A and B are shown apart, each in its own frame.
Chain A
Amino acid sequence: QSVLTQPPSVSAAPGQKVTISCSGSSSNIGNNYVSWYQQLPGTAPKLLIYDNTKRPSGIPDRFSGSKSGTSATLGITGLQTGDEANYYCGTWDNSLSVGWVFGGGTKLTVL
């Protein structure tokens, strides 16, 4: 059971838009910064979004992040078949068990 809650899967057609939610609590998302990671099949995860909304150099602006209260959302527009991957949200948790926490991951299928 992951500390952060994500939908197991989402799907959409090429060219469409999709959003992936990440729900937490005041000890994690509510008081810390959220990052998002993309894991293509057979590869290591890659940083997609940091500081809730910012994109590292090289990440296209089709990817966006937002945060409100204890939830965060990853948005992907202009879907491409190459976007098929698992997506994870992550943040620091200040609860009794201090440390980083991740969502369970969301499998994106581009139909």
Chain B
Amino acid sequence: EVQLVESGGGLVKPGGSLRLSCAASEFIFSSYSMNWVRQAPGKGLEWVSSITGSSTYIYYADSVQGRFTISRDNAKNSLYLQMNSLRVEDTAVYYCVREGPSRYLGFDYWGQGTLVTVSS
């Protein structure tokens, strides 16, 4: 069974930094695009960033462009999100999400999420 396990969440002050990690297992990690999707408390889903299997293409939501950096290490089956210049509005549960082999397949597996709280 595909598993995605996030870690690295926590409490950070505005302007601070945090690095999220996602450990993937039970599938050929390098063959899939991976994403981060977040959900603020009591709010809907917001796509954050996407990275293709070989890291050739990377995309960011306007809300995080220039502050967040997505990366992956296929040798370690791991996905990362470096978050800098954090703002109160970045407070959310961050999900690591696998994208199907083609975009028409949508987001087929989600991790359990890790909570990031930005507060003074």
Contact = CB atoms under 8 A, between A and B. Distances in A.
Contacts of B47: 90, 99-102
Given A99-B60, A104-B44, A47 B108 contact: yes
A9 to B, nearest CB: 13
Q: Chain B at the A interface: mostly helix, strand, loop or mixed? A: strand
Contact of A99 (B59, B107, B110, B112): B59
Interface stretch (B11-19, B22-30, B76-84, B97-105): B97-105
Interface in B72-116: 95, 100, 103-113
Of A39, A92, A100, A104, which is in contact with the most chain B CB atoms at under 10 Å from its CB?
A100
Contacts of B108: 47, 50, 56
B46 A99 contact: no
Categorize the interface residue count of chain A: 20 to 34
Interface of B: 35, 37, 44-47, 50, 59-62, 95, 100, 103-113
Interface of A: 2, 32-33, 35, 37, 39, 44-47, 50-51, 56, 86, 88, 90, 92, 97-105
Lowest 10 A-B CB distances belong to which pairs? A35-B106, A33-B104, A100-B47, A105-B44, A50-B106, A44-B110, A102-B45, A51-B104, A99-B59, A104-B44
Given A33-B106, A51-B104, 8 more contacts: A35-B106, A37-B106, A37-B107, A44-B95, A45-B107, A88-B44, A99-B59, A99-B60
